[in-house]
Structure 1
């Protein structure tokens, strides 16, 4: 058996089942032939607080116990123990950095066992000390809430390719004098080679099978066959889930129209070698023969081969599974929740790592288009006072827009100077100054006239919604939030009007793309048509369309069009309702 040097870092909120997971890991290692009595060590700071079968926490001893646990962990590495586990919560990158640094120093591979949190109520239930569970830690509700939040905020940093988000990925240290967390800047990624991602309802077999694969180093394949149809996201998720590493052969099995699918593979792999097998997607025998011919021609039988059978027709799935079974190779399928299943034994392997950027979704379906993301937080923040003032006077916005039609061409944004008063609200444009007043405050914005006009006729509401959703990024509920993203036709670069598509607001929770159209005035047919176009054009990405309106429509035809289009409509408690839509 190959020599093992493996460090496992548990990352989970208290009550996620880490104790059961550890026993499962131990059982899996026993089955694989590891002597768990001598070559399996678990190091947990919590163990120092155990008095008999009860957990007695003393914060005064916490730092000393952390240091002692780290020393014991280091000793196991020095002794060459094959499997060394850090069984702390490890929710934040800096909490486990000392352990992963030691693992690198002593040439250990690093695996994170990452368990998705349950509901707060379920975690609270596990913390109750009972006769049946005397060792429960009795962690408070406040700490559990913060732990769940921290798990979500930093979860995507298990993927080293995730860009650091300076809003969400902050590094904190404990300020002993003020007894609070202190922000010291941007954090780093978790240091890891493999991740075992478990849903909150995880099953023991998921851990066992994934751990066996890691130990055998079959998580990285030499060659992966992908059945492909018109939809592009199944291929994107497979390229993430099956680790298309440098020099991996990616073979795309497809029908006649294949240029776009090749482009997707090129965008989501770096140095993988991409090949094509064009087939009649409804001819079972032809597909099987073409796959076997390719394997024989390239001498692949001795290589580590996998089949991703998510895309394409059912005939393609059957053909691929037949060849995989015959040649005793692995076959996988990814469901609509991005869970990776082994078709050989019908076992859930893991949930695929999230995509943390809006642009990751867009580039799967934007061949020939340039993605322009120019969210300028400084500009948005400089107008917060004006944005809040306008929202506070939202009952006057409808009348304001009626008056603005006298001064502004809403097509070209050309405007005369104006001075409009509606009750206590006063809005005036004087050259490059937009002045807003009500009975509580006065705010002046300076800038280009076109930009000021775009702001007052609707841009302010987009920025208000953006600011309302921004805390969801900080909480890790939203991974990426963009305002006024544009898709631009590269071939029309010399023309002024070259935008192919503009989105008011886009965001992702890591697995779905959400498109928001913001309307501060009357909702018209063209606004519904814009969302309908987005849904048609980007339906392959599973985009969820949301209409956020300052005023709900009253016209029966407009209401029917919205209903027929199956859009989500929100007109109050924007952040709260968005969270509901994300959770499903």
Structure 2
């Protein structure tokens, strides 16, 4: 030993390829050698180097591992001061031969635990270039597996972790089959005296400081080393609706919070729960609770098949209440993690109550900081609302001295990734100004995602503005779809940013604002884009007093002004065209009632047919009618149907109809076959909805609307991409009515669901108007839908308030 004050030490690097472990190992080696210590590095990868390039050969891997271990052990025998194992060591049994050798020769063991970066950065590090001829060229699939392995076994660095046979299994390499085989055994813990966790955003700083940390550990007493090893790691997070659904057993995943706790090396967690003070605890009634308690013990397949509408009722009843908090706390407790849990309920006046959210975040941080033990602190952005995510980001960057980590996850099935928030992403705290909400702007800046343009369309309707800027990702070209919705005198520009780097959004918003006169009134629509775009956009907005950030709650039809907390109702729209145009379609057939004057002339006949469903059903079952259906849409196609003392004829534009011996007046028309086959039900639907149109409760009621992709020329005879029997808006949502005079099939329901999602977004509503009873399986599917309501024709006669209850729930308007 070069100096008796230093303990002989083995350093085990644990990292996914491309984390920078080899570079940092060299920095540590140089610094230790400068102190007079002898240091060697051993890496199996070195045996694959040929003329400066990395050439991997699977058949030689085991032999090279044996050689590397032999060289490593030889240096232990020689008494080298610090011996470094520079393999990936993702799994306990991969590092065990090296740690066993260290124990044999009485060396301390320090793990340098490099947390993975974003997958894209690991991929970029694999590219072989002139500057990096030794890059490994690993595939995306292999890196994804390595990252998953890292997170799955990461908690085994802590011996207080309860090992899980589902996650902590031992795999061994099978040379014959050339693949990893599951042994069924439970993995052992990593053998470490101390663990130094290296976060991706610390990489550059650690080139200078990591060696100092290692030197302190080399001279530390056993008691000091023990304290370092027992360093705590706090997770600060809200829990959201997906977490609650998981706790109720209605999700196939653990939810974001539990997934993060399972895959992260956390000792403590502070969980914030939104409490709605205006919500009654009685909503989760004894009957509903009993139903849930029966459901929760069912197999996962049964729980996931539970009707969606019933599940939503259950979630709505219990969310944001003490009953919901209790269910979630028990859910975390039943996971049996070795994590201390502190649950903090927080009353919010509304979902985006910025001041209360900020106070809750600071309370959670104070709980962690009041713990006198050494600790790391991580803030989790993903659960909760964008305002909650933004607040965590701001808390982390307004306290740079605390070195708070920030993580986010777009998929609960995968471990969260650390977000590298720039340290200068800091702005003054949100200041509540005693001003009224604006009604117009000179300029509006929109954050635009890839799913829908409706929040931007609503903003254009709500606030007159002379200029619009759209900040979007390089993958999105949706901004141009909004141009037709802007007034002719309005200008627009698009700015491309990386949607997952908040600083990029912040710079783009700030650059736009700085380019404008300081007297301009600027609105910043934060509704679209990712949560990280939201964070960057709100951050930039707070730097400029003339910028007003706002957020659309699409489902509640409200606008929240984030600085003041003022909530205003959405002004609303009075035409359905904008819904289609905003999503990239043009209306190729307007579908106005008056386009066919005969509709009004035969309205009495239409109402009469609605009471003759059994007779029409018999017509639809005749062989003659079924054969005619292939041609009845053609004008002037003659027919003569006779059935059950009834007869229907068409010759030219002359039509007759006899139902059970009663002659009904039919005005001249050429579409009588189309009408008789189901067109009558579309007209009946229109007539039932028209009173709501006249009262101003719905707007722009249409019949037979057709749409075609914007920018494409519809050729003669070319079918539209979308056809809608009836469509209208209540001023805030798009409604579609699918009419079925015959048998309802699975594809009819699927068509309506697809149309609602494609053209109307998450708030769109559909009505399936059907003449005959539904198949039980179709009825079950519709009952589980939150966007479709099935209505049978005879129900409209027996319940005069049925449509009103659908269109105007809870007496709204």
TM-score for the superposition, normalised by structure 2:
0.42
Between 483-492 and 312-321, report the one with greater CA deviation.
483-492
- 2:649 partner SS: strand
**1:123-134, aligned counterparts within 5 Å?**
none
Q: How many angstroms apart in 1 are the aligned matches of 2:756 and 2:643?
A: 39
* Distance verdict in 2 for CA 1:433–1:472, change over 3 Å: same
* Distance verdict in 2 for CA 1:582–1:442, change over 3 Å: closer
| Correspondence for 1:511 | 732
Q: CA deviation at 1:229?
A: 1.1
- 1:427 partner SS: strand
* Distance verdict in 2 for CA 1:480–1:255, change over 3 Å: same
- 1:263 partner SS: helix
| Correspondence for 1:458 | 678
- Does residue 398 (structure 1) correspond to residue 617 (structure 2)? The answer is yes
- 2:666 partner SS: strand
| Correspondence for 2:495 | 277
Q: 1:236 aligns with which of 440, 454, 457?
A: 457
CA contact (8 A) 1:419 1:429 kept: no
Q: Deviations over 1:436-495 (max 9, x none)?
A: 1245542133222xx221111000111112112111111222122111011135745333
- 1:493 partner SS: coil
Q: How many angstroms apart in 1 are the aligned matches of 2:780 and 2:512?
A: 53
- Does residue 316 (structure 1) correspond to residue 533 (structure 2)? The answer is yes
Q: How many angstroms apart in 2 are the aligned matches of 1:384 and 1:210?
A: 57
| Correspondence for 2:698 | 478
CA contact (8 A) 2:498 2:504 kept: yes
**1:16-27, aligned counterparts within 5 Å?**
none
- 2:679 partner SS: helix
* Distance verdict in 2 for CA 1:256–1:540, change over 3 Å: farther
| Correspondence for 1:583 | 808
Q: How many angstroms apart in 2 are the aligned matches of 1:234 and 1:511?
A: 11
| Correspondence for 1:446 | 668
| Correspondence for 1:342 | 561
| Correspondence for 1:76 | none
Q: How many angstroms apart in 2 are the aligned matches of 1:492 and 1:291?
A: 36
**1:483-502, aligned counterparts within 5 Å?**
483-488=703-708, 491-502=712-723
Q: Deviations over 1:389-425 (max 9, x none)?
A: 32221221110111264574323326552141324x4
Instruction: Kindly name which structure, 1 or 2, has the bigger radius of gyration based on alpha carbons.
Output: 2
- Does residue 370 (structure 1) correspond to residue 591 (structure 2)? The answer is no
Q: CA deviation at 1:509?
A: 0.9
Q: How many angstroms apart in 1 are the aligned matches of 2:482 and 2:762?
A: 13
Q: How many angstroms apart in 2 are the aligned matches of 1:518 and 1:570?
A: 10
Q: How many angstroms apart in 2 are the aligned matches of 1:343 and 1:368?
A: 34
Q: How many angstroms apart in 2 are the aligned matches of 1:431 and 1:371?
A: 25
Q: 1:552 aligns with which of 770, 773, 776?
A: 773
| Correspondence for 2:756 | 535
Q: How many angstroms apart in 1 are the aligned matches of 2:433 and 2:681?
A: 47
* Distance verdict in 2 for CA 1:433–1:334, change over 3 Å: same
Q: Deviations over 1:48-74 (max 9, x none)?
A: xxxxxxxxxxxxxxxxxxxxxxxxxxx
| Correspondence for 2:98 | none
| Correspondence for 2:654 | 433
CA contact (8 A) 2:681 2:739 kept: yes
Q: How many angstroms apart in 1 are the aligned matches of 2:638 and 2:562?
A: 66
| Correspondence for 1:186 | none
Q: Deviations over 1:240-281 (max 9, x none)?
A: 22222xxx2211111113432232144233322211221111
Q: 1:303 aligns with which of 520, 537, 541?
A: 520
- Does residue 225 (structure 1) correspond to residue 445 (structure 2)? The answer is yes
CA contact (8 A) 2:457 2:578 kept: no
- Does residue 357 (structure 1) correspond to residue 580 (structure 2)? The answer is no
CA contact (8 A) 2:699 2:730 kept: yes
* Distance verdict in 2 for CA 1:409–1:343, change over 3 Å: same
Between 513-522 and 494-503, report the one with greater CA deviation.
494-503
Q: How many angstroms apart in 1 are the aligned matches of 2:758 and 2:491?
A: 29
Q: CA deviation at 1:222?
A: 2.2
- Does residue 389 (structure 1) correspond to residue 611 (structure 2)? The answer is no
Q: CA deviation at 1:569?
A: 0.3
Q: How many angstroms apart in 1 are the aligned matches of 2:516 and 2:714?
A: 46
Q: How many angstroms apart in 2 are the aligned matches of 1:381 and 1:294?
A: 54
| Correspondence for 2:480 | 262
Q: 1:521 aligns with which of 714, 731, 742?
A: 742
* Distance verdict in 2 for CA 1:444–1:327, change over 3 Å: closer
CA contact (8 A) 1:213 1:219 kept: no
* Distance verdict in 2 for CA 1:299–1:483, change over 3 Å: closer
* Distance verdict in 2 for CA 1:405–1:530, change over 3 Å: farther
Structure 1 vs Structure 2 CA RMSD: 2.7
Q: How many angstroms apart in 2 are the aligned matches of 1:461 and 1:409?
A: 19
- 1:445 partner SS: coil
* Distance verdict in 2 for CA 1:212–1:529, change over 3 Å: closer
Q: CA deviation at 1:565?
A: 5.2
- Does residue 251 (structure 1) correspond to residue 474 (structure 2)? The answer is no
- Does residue 326 (structure 1) correspond to residue 543 (structure 2)? The answer is yes
- 2:721 partner SS: strand
**Structure 1 unaligned runs (5+)?**
1-208
- 1:392 partner SS: coil
| Correspondence for 1:573 | 796
* Distance verdict in 2 for CA 1:558–1:307, change over 3 Å: closer
| Correspondence for 1:178 | none
CA contact (8 A) 2:570 2:732 kept: no
Q: How many angstroms apart in 2 are the aligned matches of 1:474 and 1:406?
A: 37
TM-score for the superposition, normalised by structure 1:
0.58
**Structure 2 unaligned runs (5+)?**
1-431
* Distance verdict in 2 for CA 1:560–1:411, change over 3 Å: farther
* Distance verdict in 2 for CA 1:241–1:384, change over 3 Å: closer
* Distance verdict in 2 for CA 1:250–1:345, change over 3 Å: same
CA contact (8 A) 1:250 1:273 kept: yes
